[in-house]
């Protein structure tokens, strides 16, 4: 009999838990999927003969002893059983959820290195903690019942029930005892059933459980164990009481746990390369997008963007690894799905270079072929433009779906494999910036995001919104509660608890590289803790090159918007390609803050008002005027336009010289004039009804405000002032091929010069560093929300009632000068 017990319980499962055990190998005595017999203690059927009491435990059923671990003998015994199972099973096969409601976790103290290695959670010590453990077990059971396969085992180990645990918790334990074994969930309970109080219901006995019941004198009655082999034929259990094994010393537990914790660390650690598939672009996105984002214990953690979790919300304080997590996800997806299956729109509002990894740079020409637009340090207006692009694409897809008579992209693609309709994923880092200011941009952004979040899933458009500030997220909550209902999957990194339910503190104290995944919109009890790998530069670069080299022929790099970038006219392909072969000439002034950075400018033709005024003290004004002038010079056949350049302020001298040079080399006649000559030319031009030689004339005035007082003076003989002539030229010039391009440093001088009509003779305006109310006054719209910012301007075209945020053209070095002045 004794020998049989020894055969059943090899190594850790039956050994003496003394100092010699430290040399036993771990992880070799048992395998998962089979009942694991474990020695509990010994009994003496007759004097002088001792036998081991062995019962099947993990893999077969549960164990419960009615005394709790406040009894030191029970505490040691419990640690002994736990150690046997832990050391017998393969490394990492057992996850322990510990509960100690009586001694603040002290019972599990010797196991602390497992907690430190994040192989176990910290023991729960109170009722909410216990309930949390029960939820975790229940969720695992539900997942298993839904067909999810998790090869590891969860052992709920209770040293003592916490204060307040009652009938509800008992029934949850009973349910877990019933359904747990089939789902790999087992119970090791001390203090169960709790003592029965008179008049109250007793705690239920648990199914599939060996119950040990104190029988006095340190002995315990042993019930029949689960499984086919029973001690008694009548259900009365073992005929003689048992003495519990004395259990291991703390030293023994500690040294074994240190060993296991080391292995657990290695198993839980994962690197960037491990997230990538063995072969790229093998998956179809018809039913959704899926990728491995890290490890949950020993297992891969796979997350999806599909009908069930169409959009994700990611939170984490600065430095929590948010960028790294997003890189893990995006490279994982881009490696699994080809650009025909997935398109990416990446948008970042913060300073930094999160998404620079997707774009070509001076040192590395590669890009991720899936990336369609990449915004780095984006303006909110650019964010809005990206959302509009997605919204337009959604409308286009909806029309196509309607035409095909289906309602979901999956149905369309299933029936029409020839239709290219990749899933589109927009990732917006620091998305809360979009809503800052509570202005028109914020309003439009909320509306667009809401629409995309609500309808996107049907059209294969997915969103991942990430934010570092809880307040940002909360602000949005307050505005549009409904949006977040569309984001069932929450990812909370360290300090990112704002994306979880208020009562969910699962993200408190998370180390870097860990995240709480919650696919039930953040409710407590639905957390899974995962580890994600660092996205080290070398691995990321290697993967990007792999994808880039596989890019389809003719694949264009993404449209990149870098908020900090200067826009030089000679780097704009549209500017560089200018030629006289145009139907209508445009004065080009910069690049619009929009997807693809379209070139921004004004049409200058015979329409009244076809003049350009650049307004603001910023020296960028001179550069804008330079670019506008040169662009026009290149749209005339050589020798068909005349340019009169008036450099009236020192700050514009360089730009004016550069203008003369560029206009001359475009083959146009070009002369420099003083303010007095400017005054005189205005007089001439105001008199003439048609240019004598059929040429177009451009008056280009750098620092027009400097001529204001000269123009104000009237001619003593004709009584005409320079202002009269200026206004006449502005009013009649365009019909005769005369246009004025001017840079006024102040709005007041501009309006003085142009007179009571408030300058409506000039239809094309570029507002640089003007205060909002100046722009408001200019437009007669005091509600205008313009706020001047470095390297930005507001383009106002009164011809077509258009306003656009632009990055004004600058010549290299101008912005540095401004920085030096600042
Ligand atoms: N899983 C990880 N393992 C090891 N180090 C990591 C891990 N994740 C992130 N880090 C490191 O933590 C630092 C911060 O990461 P990251 O830049 O992703 O943070 P962030 O939350 O985006 O911060 P910020 O918002 O300030 O840019 C980086 O040095 C990164 O290498």
> What does the DSSP assignment read for 671-713?
EE--HHHHHHHHHHHHH-SS-TTS-EEEEEEETGGGGHHHHHS
Over residues 295-310, the mean pLDDT reads 89
Per-residue model confidence as pLDDT tens digits over 332-350: 999 999 999 999 999 998 8
**326 CA: nearest ligand 1 atom:** 18
pLDDT score at 761: 86
Query: Whose Cα sits closest to atom 23 in ligand 1?
Result: 319
Rounded CA-CA distance 528/261 in Å is 20
> Ligand 1 center to residue 321 CA distance, Å?
3
Q: What is the sign, positive or negative, of the torsion defined by CA atoms of 276, 279, 281, 284? A: negative
Per-residue model confidence as pLDDT tens digits over 146-198: 877 777 899 999 999 999 999 999 999 999 999 999 999 999 999 999 988 77
pLDDT score at 251: 94
**Which has the higher per-residue pLDDT, 610 or 689?**
610
pLDDT score at 804: 93
At 475, the pLDDT band (50, 70, 90 cuts) reads low
Alpha-carbon 163 to chain mean position:
41
In the chain, the percentage of residues whose pLDDT exceeds 90 is: 63
Rounded CA-CA distance 644/285 in Å is 60
**533 CA: nearest ligand 1 atom:** 1
Over residues 799-818, the mean pLDDT reads 90
Q: Is 640 labelled as part of a ligand binding site?
A: no
State ipTM: 0.97
Over residues 46-72, the mean pLDDT reads 92
pLDDT score at 474: 58
pLDDT score at 105: 86
Domain span(s) for CATH 3.40.50.300 in the chain: 2-8+28-268, 292-562, 589-821
Q: Output b/e per residue, 484-510; b: 16+ Cβ within 10 A.
A: bebbbbbbbbbbbbbbbbeebebbeeb
Residue 242 near residue 212 (C-beta atoms within 8 A): yes
> Ligand 1 center to residue 401 CA distance, Å?
41
Q: Is 350 labelled as part of a ligand binding site?
A: no
Pick from 315, 324, 507, 511 the residue to mutate for probing ligand 1's pocket: most ligand atoms within 8 Å of its CB: 324
Rounded CA-CA distance 776/552 in Å is 49
Residue 758 backbone zone (phi > 0: left; psi -120 to 50: alpha; other: beta): left
The token duo for 810 is 């600058």
Over residues 6-33, the mean pLDDT reads 87
List residues near ligand 1 (CB under 6 A). 316, 318-324, 352, 468, 512-513, 532-534
> Ligand 1 center to residue 504 CA distance, Å?
23
At 7, the pLDDT band (50, 70, 90 cuts) reads confident
Q: Which CATH class is domain 589-821?
A: alpha beta
Rg (CA), the chain: 38
**Which has the higher per-residue pLDDT, 267 or 706?**
706
Pairing mode, strands 738-744 and 612-615: parallel
Residue 655 near residue 630 (C-beta atoms within 8 A): no
CATH 1.10.10.10 for the 292-562 domain, yes or no: no
> Ligand 1 center to residue 295 CA distance, Å?
17
pLDDT score at 464: 97
The token duo for 809 is 């053209």
At 415, the pLDDT band (50, 70, 90 cuts) reads confident
At 760, the pLDDT band (50, 70, 90 cuts) reads confident
Residue 139 near residue 48 (C-beta atoms within 8 A): no
Residue with tokens 């082999």: 229
pLDDT score at 118: 74
**327 CA: nearest ligand 1 atom:** 18
pLDDT score at 245: 93
At 4, the pLDDT band (50, 70, 90 cuts) reads low
Query: Whose Cα sits closest to atom 12 in ligand 1?
Result: 321
Cα–Cα–Cα angle for 39, 44, 47, rounded to 5 degrees: 155
> Ligand 1 center to residue 320 CA distance, Å?
6
Q: Is 319 labelled as part of a ligand binding site?
A: yes
pLDDT score at 779: 78
Over residues 207-219, the mean pLDDT reads 93
Over residues 761-780, the mean pLDDT reads 88
User: What does the mean pLDDT of the chain come to?
Assistant: 90
CATH 1.10.10.10 for the 2-8+28-268 domain, yes or no: no
Residue 777 has pLDDT above 70, yes or no: yes
**317 CA: nearest ligand 1 atom:** 21
| Burial of 357 from C-beta contacts in 10 A (0-12 / 13-18 / 19+) | buried
> Ligand 1 center to residue 328 CA distance, Å?
11
**316 CA: nearest ligand 1 atom:** 21
Helix 722-732 vs helix 747-754: crossing angle, to nearest 10? 80
Pick from 268, 275, 294, 321 the residue to mutate for probing ligand 1's pocket: most ligand atoms within 8 Å of its CB: 321
Pick from 275, 319, 430, 533 the residue to mutate for probing ligand 1's pocket: most ligand atoms within 8 Å of its CB: 319
At 93, the pLDDT band (50, 70, 90 cuts) reads confident
> Ligand 1 center to residue 533 CA distance, Å?
10
> Ligand 1 center to residue 513 CA distance, Å?
8
Q: Look up residue 183 and give its DSSP letter.
A: H
């Amino acid at each position: 009999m004794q020998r049989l017990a020894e055969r059943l319980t090899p190594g850790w499962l039956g050994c003496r838990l003394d100092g010699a055990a430290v040399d036993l190998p771990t992880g070799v005595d048992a395998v998962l999927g089979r009942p694991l017999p474990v020695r509990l203690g010994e009994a003496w059927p007759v004097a002088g003969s001792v036998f081991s009491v062995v019962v099947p435990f993990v893999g077969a059923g549960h164990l419960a002893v009615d005394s709790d671990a406040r009894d030191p003998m029970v505490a040691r015994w419990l640690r002994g059983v736990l150690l046997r199972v832990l050391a017998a099973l393969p490394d990492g096969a057992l996850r322990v959820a510990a509960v100690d409601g009586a001694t603040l976790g002290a019972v599990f103290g010797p196991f602390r290195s497992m907690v430190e290695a994040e192989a176990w959670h910290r023991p729960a010590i109170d009722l909410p903690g216990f309930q949390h453990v029960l939820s975790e077990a229940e969720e695992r059971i539900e997942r298993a019942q839904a067909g999810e396969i998790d090869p590891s085992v969860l052992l709920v180990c209770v040293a003592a029930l916490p204060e307040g645990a009652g009938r509800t918790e008992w029934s949850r334990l009973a349910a877990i005892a019933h359904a747990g074994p089939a789902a790999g969930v087992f119970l090791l309970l001390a203090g169960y059933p709790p003592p029965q109080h008179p008049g109250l219901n007793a705690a239920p006995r648990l199914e599939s459980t060996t119950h040990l019941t104190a029988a006095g004198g340190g002995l315990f009655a042993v019930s029949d164990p689960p499984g086919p082999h029973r001690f008694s034929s009548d259900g009365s259990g073992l005929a003689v009481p048992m003495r519990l094994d004395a259990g291991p010393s703390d030293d023994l537990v500690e040294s074994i746990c240190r060993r296991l914790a080391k292995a657990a660390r290695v198993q839980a650690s994962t690197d960037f390369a491990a997230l990538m598939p063995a072969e790229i672009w093998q998956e179809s996105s018809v039913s959704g997008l899926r990728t491995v984002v890290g490890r949950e214990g020993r297992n891969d953690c796979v997350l999806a963007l599909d009908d069930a979790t169409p959009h994700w919300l990611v939170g984490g304080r600065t430095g929590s690894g948010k960028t790294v997590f997003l890189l893990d996800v995006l490279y994982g997806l881009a490696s699994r799905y080809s650009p025909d299956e997935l398109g990416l729109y990446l948008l970042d509002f913060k300073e930094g270079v999160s998404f620079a990894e997707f774009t070509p740079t001076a040192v590395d020409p590669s890009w991720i072929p899936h990336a369609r637009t990449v915004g780095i340090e984006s303006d909110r207006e650019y964010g809005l433009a990206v959302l509009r692009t997605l919204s337009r694409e959604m409308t286009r897809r909806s029309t196509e779906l309607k035409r095909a008579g289906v309602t979901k992209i999956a149905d369309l693609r299933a029936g029409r494999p020839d239709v290219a309709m990749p899933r589109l994923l927009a990732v917006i880092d620091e998305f809360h910036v979009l809503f800052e200011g509570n202005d028109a941009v914020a309003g439009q952004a909320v509306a667009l995001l809401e629409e995309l979040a609500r309808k996107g899933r049907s059209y294969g458009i997915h969103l991942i919104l990430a934010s570092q500030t809880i307040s940002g997220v909360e602000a949005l909550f307050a505005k549009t509660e409904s949006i977040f209902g569309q984001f069932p999957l929450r990812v909370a990194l360290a300090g990112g608890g704002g994306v979880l339910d208020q009562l969910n503190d699962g993200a408190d104290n998370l180390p870097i590289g860990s995240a709480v995944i919650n696919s039930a919109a953040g409710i407590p009890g639905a957390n899974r803790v995962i580890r994600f790998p660092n996205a080290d530069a070398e691995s990321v670069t290697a993967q990007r090159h792999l994808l880039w080299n596989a890019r389809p022929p003719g694949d264009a790099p993404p449209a990149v918007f870098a908020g900090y970038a200067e826009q030089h006219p000679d780097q704009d392909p549209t500017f560089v390609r200018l030629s006289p072969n145009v139907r209508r000439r445009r004065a080009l002034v910069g690049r619009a803050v929009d997807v693809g950075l379209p070139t921004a400018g004004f049409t200058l033709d015979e329409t009244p008002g076809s003049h350009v005024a650049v307004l603001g003290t910023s020296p960028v004004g001179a550069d804008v005027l330079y670019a506008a002038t040169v662009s026009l010079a290149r749209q005339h056949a050589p020798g068909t336009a005349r340019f009169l350049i008036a450099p009236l302020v020192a700050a514009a001298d360089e730009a004016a010289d550069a203008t003369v040079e560029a206009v001359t080399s475009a083959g146009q006649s070009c002369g420099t004039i003083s303010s007095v000559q400017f005054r005189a030319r205005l007089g001439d031009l105001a008199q003439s009804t048609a240019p004598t030689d059929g040429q177009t004339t451009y008056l280009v005035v750098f620092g027009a405000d400097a001529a204001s007082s000269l123009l104000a003076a009237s001619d003593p003989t004709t009584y005409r002032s320079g202002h009269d002539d200026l206004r006449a030229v502005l009013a009649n010039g365009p019909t005769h091929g005369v246009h004025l391009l001017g840079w006024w440093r102040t709005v007041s001088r501009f309006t003085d010069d142009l007179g009571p009509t408030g300058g409506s003779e000039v239809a094309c305006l570029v507002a640089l560093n003007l205060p909002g109310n100046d722009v408001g006054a200019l437009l007669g719209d005091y509600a205008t929300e313009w706020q001047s910012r470095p390297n930005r301007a507001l383009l106002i075209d009164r011809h077509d009632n258009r306003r656009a945020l632009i990055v004004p053209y600058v010549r290299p070095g101008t912005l540095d000068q401004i920085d030096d002045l600042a």
